[in-house]
């Protein structure tokens, strides 16, 4: 389902104030929008990934969210941060994909009492241990990602933004358009659910969860820029 996209050459991006980059991108300056993408690409991907539970689907949703953002840049107002604005666009795009696919998210409580042996075993088993520390860390990250995927979506997205991306309660509330009290309660509930199955593994594995490597970033940027040129979003110099 994922499009085959060329890898963009890695090169320095403009690093000016964000408002200047937004204004320049709205005028069709491709380098400015690429700078915005590279600055927030991990946040956007992780937001999509928290909803879709699939790397391939999240890449596609990330690319489409960036294109929608570029098309709407002239309507962006600086009352909110650009990061919260793009998270909101990404969330809407991912949820739309979820609805179209009629995907079902398995609540953690249901999975824990599932009659399916593999599902219960995956939640109950301790992560595999080996003498190699690197392999152990990789296993811990894999386990963390799998357990986060089992959280209900309303908790999973808040947890991804607060714990993994370290966004503030205020910014998450603005991005998801929910009260700050709801952000706090959902985050608390998500951590409680994860602790039931992860115990001490959670904090050790969290930092490397849902790795966003350079190749993926380049692939998304290349796809967005190619589509932007086709649509005339990028000004020809």
CATH number where 48 lies: 1.10.1740.10
Cα separations (Å) of 167 from 36, 81, 212?
17, 12, 17
Residue 46 placed within a domain = yes
Say how far apart CA 107 and CA 87 lie, in whole Å.
23
Neighbour-count burial for 140-151, b at 16+ CB within 10 Å, e otherwise: bbebbbebbbbb
Total domains, the chain: 1
In a domain, 93, yes or no: yes
- Asked if the structure places residue 11 within a domain, the reply is no
- Average pLDDT of the chain is 79
**Over 60: is that where the pLDDT of 46 sits?**
yes
Domain membership flag for residue 196: yes
Residue 206 lies in a domain: yes
Residues 158-183 pLDDT 10s: 999 998 898 999 999 999 999 999 99
* Claim: this prediction has a pTM higher than 0.75: no
- The answer to whether position 115 is within a domain reads yes
| Average pLDDT score over residue span 100-128 | 53
Share of the chain above pLDDT 70, in %: 70
Q: Indicate the range of 8-22, 146-160, 223-237 predicted with least confidence.
A: 8-22
DSSP state of 74: G
Using the structure block, give the residue that is written with the tokens 């491709």. 30
Confidence tier at 122 by pLDDT (50, 70, 90):
low
Token digits of residue 77: 């107002």
At 131-146, the pLDDT tens digits run 456 766 777 778 778 8
Contacts 24+ apart (CB under 8 A), 103-112: 103/52, 105/53, 105/152, 105/153, 105/156, 106/150, 107/150, 107/151, 107/152, 108/147, 108/150, 108/151, 108/152, 108/193, 108/196, 108/197, 109/193, 111/150, 112/196, 112/197
- Determine what percent of the chain falls in helix, strand and coil, rounding each to the nearest 5: 70, 0, 30
Residue range(s) defining the domain that contains residue 142: 18-231
């Amino acid at each position: 389902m994922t499009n085959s996209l060329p890898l963009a050459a890695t090169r320095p991006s403009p690093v000016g104030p964000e408002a200047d980059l937004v204004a320049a991108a709205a005028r069709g300056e491709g380098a400015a929008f690429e700078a915005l993408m590279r600055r927030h690409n991990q946040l956007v991907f992780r937001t999509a990934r928290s909803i879709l539970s699939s790397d391939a689907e999240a890449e596609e949703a990330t690319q489409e969210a960036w294109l929608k953002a570029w098309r709407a840049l002239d309507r962006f107002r600086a009352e909110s941060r650009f990061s919260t604005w793009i998270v909101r666009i990404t969330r809407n795009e991912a949820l739309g994909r979820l609805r179209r696919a009629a995907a079902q998210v398995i609540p953690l409580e249901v999975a824990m009492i599932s009659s399916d042996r593999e599902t219960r075993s995956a939640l109950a088993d301790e992560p595999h241990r080996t003498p190699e520390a690197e392999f152990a860390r990789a296993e811990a990250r894999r386990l963390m990602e799998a357990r986060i995927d089992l959280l209900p979506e309303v908790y999973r997205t808040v947890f991804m933004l607060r714990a993994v991306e370290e966004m503030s309660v205020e910014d998450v509330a603005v991005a998801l358009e929910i009260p700050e009290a709801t952000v706090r309660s959902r985050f608390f509930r998500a951590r409680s659910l994860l602790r039931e199955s992860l115990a001490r593994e959670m904090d050790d594995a969290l930092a490397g969860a849902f790795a966003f490597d350079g190749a993926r970033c380049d692939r998304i940027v290349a796809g967005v820029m190619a589509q932007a040129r086709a649509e005339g979003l990028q000004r020809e110099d």
